[in-house]
Amino acid sequence: MNDIDHRVLGNKLDLFHQQEEGAGMVFWHPRGWELYRVLEDYIRARMRRAGFREIRTPQLLARSLWEKSGHWEKFGAAMYSLADAEEGRALCLKPMSCPCHVQVFNQRVRSYRELPVRYSEFGACHRDEPSGSLEGLKRTRAFVQDDAHVFCTEAHIEAEVGRFCSLLRAVYADLGFPDFKVALATRPAMRAGNDQTWDRAEEALANAARAAGLEFDLLEGEGAFYGPKLEFHLTDSRERSWQCGTIQLDFVLPDRLDAEFVNERNERERPVMIHHAVLGSMERFIAMLLEHHEGWLPVWLAPEQVVVATISDANAAYAQEVMQALDDAGIRALLDGRPERLEKKIVDAREKQVPIFVAVGSRDERDRTISIRMRDGQQSTLALAEGVEHLRVGALPPPLRSGF
């Protein structure tokens, strides 16, 4: 493994580890979990702004649901199953969240006036991947997917695909991937639904993609078993391609799981279901971020954004005051009050790949200032309140910085 492999970075930066007793699973350390939660909160805010309502659904469900949806036939070999001895039925850990979202939609009679209905979830999923295919965070047996689903009519498809494409563009740019490639994956050999249904779905998704200004390549036979999909491929700093976001159009699952709404003629009708993911697997996307940025994450994503270092023990009280001001401003800061030379503290902060270094000395304490050193070497000395505000704005996620 090279120095920018996310597994090497995960160990060096104390973010996570994996071990034999939990093969394919992740033990998140405090710094890694901080990164995870910052990314999750950012996606949550973006999804809310795009009109999605967050829900939470069970991880363990009766196998009969997966049989009805068609997932058991397609994914059964990769699903974790167990027997409920008391009730005498088979249960499965979910490999994805889509059938669960249909259950939420189905809990009451829906009117066409309510559509589109948009749900999002950070869904905890499990898949029994072969041991030889496991690769750090890139391929795991337990992962969280930023699942989202829209229930709508065919008339809504173009607008909903356009809405999500706008969201994808904004998110990828914020995370350092302004350019991406798109592929339209069409009907696979093993699929649900008839050819007429697939013709409608593929044509509708292709037209919606064109209306959203997307150019795409065709991937024949690579669609989901229930419908065609748009795949969004990002290119990292090493020119490697990563398939991340997806938009999948589904006329099949609503029929299999009895989803319906009352149309304007007071008749029961099946909705169209649009499956979405921005990042895909959270774990895999974090691996990509670490390797793309070589561990130097953007300030707003860094587990610790600032190290506050004392120049001598005499400045400890003022350093604590600076720490409190940063904490009050929502800045993730770490205090280095060790009796070490300042140069040693600077080197150690760089080893942890913390992007901002603040030194606090006797002159700073006397003048009520802080001395700021950025990762690129740029230095400045600012009054405490002004410096904290400067750091606060720079530490915000891009949409908040721009008045989102």
Instruction: Provide the annotated active-site residues.
Output: 98, 127, 145, 147, 149, 229, 275
Alpha carbon 16 to its chain's center: 17
Structure tokens at 77: 């070999």
Q: Look up tokens 């779905």; give the residue.
A: 201
Q: Look up tokens 């919606």; give the residue.
A: 208
Pairing between strand 216-219 and 180-185? parallel
Q: Are 152 and 271 in contact (CB under 8 A)?
A: yes
What percent of the residues of the chain are helix, what percent strand, and what percent coil, each to the nearest 5?
Answer: 40, 25, 35
- Classify 232 as helix, strand or coil: strand
Q: What DSSP assignment string belongs to 130-166?
A: -GGG-BTTTB-SEEEEEEEEEEE-GGGHHHHHHHHHH
Residue 211 and residue 158: Cα distance in Å, rounded? 7
Strand partners for 227: 224
- Classify 325 as helix, strand or coil: helix
Residue 244: closest CA among 196, 278, 293: 278
Residue 78 and residue 99: Cα distance in Å, rounded? 17
Question: C-alpha angle 395/243/58, rounded to 5°?
Answer: 80
Q: Are 287 and 137 in contact (CB under 8 A)?
A: yes
What are the φ and ψ backbone dihedral angles of 121, each rounded to 5 degrees?
-160, 140
Residue 264 and residue 36: Cα distance in Å, rounded? 44
Q: 347: buried, middle or exposed (CB in 10 Å: 19+, 13-18, 0-12)?
A: exposed
Integer-rounded Cα Rg, in Å, for the chain is 24
H-helix or E-strand spanning residue 379 = strand 379-383
